[in-house]
Structure 1
């Protein structure tokens, strides 16, 4: 296995993401769509945790969340474990908006996928399954006890 496989994969994925973002007409900006996707993935989450995940300050994240909240895409609820804190959750409107963003971005690269021959499309479909397994494995907490 190539020592650069990880770097090559990340480079290609980043370029495909840029292509999709440049060519798609989205109902939401890319950064906000990415944050909304993070909130969907993480479930109910504190702003401080979102800031840590996004490598930004808590005030910056508060501003970004407020924009999503003003658009009705997320809501705030009191954290049952700490009444001083709030949890951010995606709303049904947020789920639908994110679904549309994904469809729009996918549609931007569909013409290129259609140019592939059947064998390459099948290989790419299998690669997507492998990548989903990779992500599922990465999401499983590793035991630190021996």
Structure 2
């Protein structure tokens, strides 16, 4: 079911989220990759943060710490994730991507991009330009979200 902009607040926020989620799901479903999606998400999250703790990844992925530990162990066994001591907490370890992990993630992203590019090939040039403009606008919205989040974290620290 598609949500109309008037159903949930100003500016079509619910509709935007619905479309983004459905597009992401469609691209993921039609991407030809052997890697489980959960592993791609973990690699992507570590890439975004630069380094991560297993517990933080579990919270973001809405799973238990033992589940995330298993995922991380699989990634580490493949040589895609490395562990290092956390300089702020001797009991914890920080996870980073290895060069091979970055290459695997880049390949997964390229696979997904090809699926979307094939869809966009059916659009005319003005439509593709509007998608590019919307992408830039959504990127700016995401930057606002991150800036607000950092600001809120600094207030509580």
Indicate yes or no: 2:117 matched with 1:110: yes
Helix, strand or coil for the counterpart of 1:28?
coil
Query: Unaligned stretches of 5+ in structure 1?
Result: none
The two structures have a TM-score, normalised by structure 1, of 0.91
Find the partner of 2:86 among 60, 65, 79: 79
Where relative contact order (Cα < 8 A, 6+ residues apart) is larger, the structure is: 1
CA–CA separation in structure 1 for the residues paired with 2:98 and 2:141: 28
Gaps of 5+ in 2: none
Cα separation, 1, equivalents of 2:65 and 2:137: 35
Who is 2:46 aligned against?
A: 39
Match of residue 25, structure 1, among 8, 19, 32: 32
Compute the displacement of 1:17 (Å).
1.2
- Match of residue 142 from structure 1: 151
> What are the Cα deviations for residues 9-56 of structure 1, in whole angstroms up to 9, with x where unaligned?
111111111211121112422111111101111121111111111121
- Superposition RMSD in Å: 1.7
User: What TM-score comes out, normalization by structure 2 length?
Assistant: 0.85
Mapped partners of 2:97, 2:34: distance in 1: 16
For the Cα contact (< 8 Å) 1:39–1:90, is it kept in 2? yes
More helix by share: 2
